[in-house]
Amino acid sequence: MVVPEPTAEPAPSETAEAPPVVEGTGNSNEVGVAMVSLTTTDQALPTVEIVKLLTPSTVQVVTEVAGMAFSNSPIPPTGVGTGVILDLEGHILTNNHVVDSAQRITVTLSSGESFPAVVVGRDQATDLAIIRIEAEGLTPARLGVSAELEVGEDTIAIGHALGLLGGPTVSKGVVSALGRTINTDAQTTMVDLIQTDASINPGNSGGPLANDRAEVIGINTAIIQEGRGIGFAINIDDAKVVASQLMERGYVSRGFLGIRPVNLSPSIANQLGLDVKTEGVFIAFVIEDTAADLAGLLTEDVILELGDEAIRNTGELSKFLIAHPPGETVDILIIRQGQEISGQITLGMRPE
């Protein structure tokens, strides 16, 4: 098979990084189960009621980063984001880019009280981080199940947009699409995102995206500057898994293939001579000297299965890798030039 030369070699999609301040907690509770004390409801709630329920669980996160604002006057630049309270012990879920490189973190509750925070763990790949405060009387958020979402469902986004005074900003929209993949920069590809037209602005990062039952179904993370009404949130099912690992060990241990994965669309399937209904992950690029390269995977291969699990999209691939650590050998089923090929692959470790 003749493989076209890619125009640019993509870098690994994420790297594990040590946070500036790390506090081990040893907490291995399941996020969204033992941590959440509020009772959920099956009934849709008025927007005002949703806001009343979510606001006590939503915090402002202000960070200071060492730097020089003027040549002769060191002034620490500040950033503003949002976070979601997970439990009574003070664990807060936010975006990694909100607290990345922060020298000092201050969390302000809806009551107006402020507390210093420490980083428990960060994960660049999913743009998630756990910070912690020492405070009493906290209100944990209700966490939903994003796997049950459908396009068209109502969404509510709450966050400290633009760092404006007077409390959080509330916006309303719908689930515009599911399973979105975006490149946030040259090194990071985020998969299985929720797309919403609820207004998400700078400062909303790390805040909750909720359904009409006041359950958090996503963590707001990104906006498309070129287009209006396009925002993205990390689905809460993935966030629960990542948060549990960050709280337990301070980092996420995930297997690494070393590929640039793309959902197998009907158009790609057609170009490969496959049934347009075929589901899988198309390999757009194989990084040299990685697990995929050593196992003999090639550009334009299509991954159908890993282990005994069907891999129908990049979201399922991401979930599989989070659940299987580096060094584990698993079965793999691919399609190459129209033929199914089975084999094994030993998962690698994501490079620093």
Query: Residue type for 82, please?
Result: T
| CATH number of the domain enclosing 274 | 2.30.42.10
Q: Which residues contact 195 (CB under 8 A, 6 or more apart)?
A: 175, 176, 177, 178, 180, 230, 231, 232
Strand 128-132 to 169-183 pairing: unpaired
Active-site residue, selected from the candidate residues 13, 176, 205, 244: 205
Answer left, alpha or beta for residue 265, where phi above 0 means left and psi between -120 and 50 means alpha.
beta
Tokens of 248: 């337990």
Confidence of residue 2 (pLDDT cuts 50, 70, 90): very low
Active-site residue, selected from the candidate residues 100, 127, 237, 301: 127
Q: Are residues 215 and 297 in the same domain?
A: no
Q: Which of 207, 199, 15 is nearest to 94 (CA)?
A: 207
Q: Are residues 167 and 195 in the same domain?
A: yes
Q: Are residues 203 and 283 in the same domain?
A: no
| Helix (H) or strand (E) segment spanning residue 129 | strand 128-132
Q: Are residues 158 and 302 in the same domain?
A: no
Does 311 reside within a domain?
A: yes
| CATH number of the domain enclosing 206 | 2.40.10.120
Instruction: Return the pLDDT at 131.
Output: 98
Query: Residue type for 308, please?
Result: D
Active-site residue, selected from the candidate residues 13, 87, 97, 237: 97
Inter-residue contact 325 to 347 (CB < 8 Å): yes
Task: Report the predicted TM-score, pTM, of the whole model to 2 decimal places.
Answer: 0.77
Does 325 reside within a domain?
A: yes
Tokens of 78: 């500040």
Q: Are residues 218 and 334 in the same domain?
A: no
Does 8 reside within a domain?
A: no
pLDDT above 70 covers what percent of the chain? 80
The pLDDT of 208-234, averaged and rounded, is: 86
Decide if 127 is catalytic.
yes
Q: Are residues 195 and 65 in the same domain?
A: yes
Confidence of residue 36 (pLDDT cuts 50, 70, 90): very low
Q: Single out the residue in 186, 220, 251 at which a domain terminates.
A: 251
Inter-residue contact 93 to 138 (CB < 8 Å): no
Q: Are residues 37 and 156 in the same domain?
A: yes
Range with the poorest average pLDDT among 35-44, 254-263, 318-327: 35-44
Q: Single out the residue in 251, 270, 293 at which a domain terminates.
A: 251
| Helix (H) or strand (E) segment spanning residue 121 | strand 114-123
Decide if 265 is catalytic.
no
Q: Are residues 177 and 291 in the same domain?
A: no
Q: Are residues 152 and 268 in the same domain?
A: no
Does 4 reside within a domain?
A: no
- 3-class DSSP state for residue 230? coil
- Please tell me which of 39-43, 87-91, 313-317 the model is most confident about, judged by mean pLDDT: 87-91
Range of the domain at 325: 255-349
Answer with the residue of higher pLDDT: 223 or 297. 297
User: What does DSSP assign to residue 34?
Assistant: T
Decide if 97 is catalytic.
yes
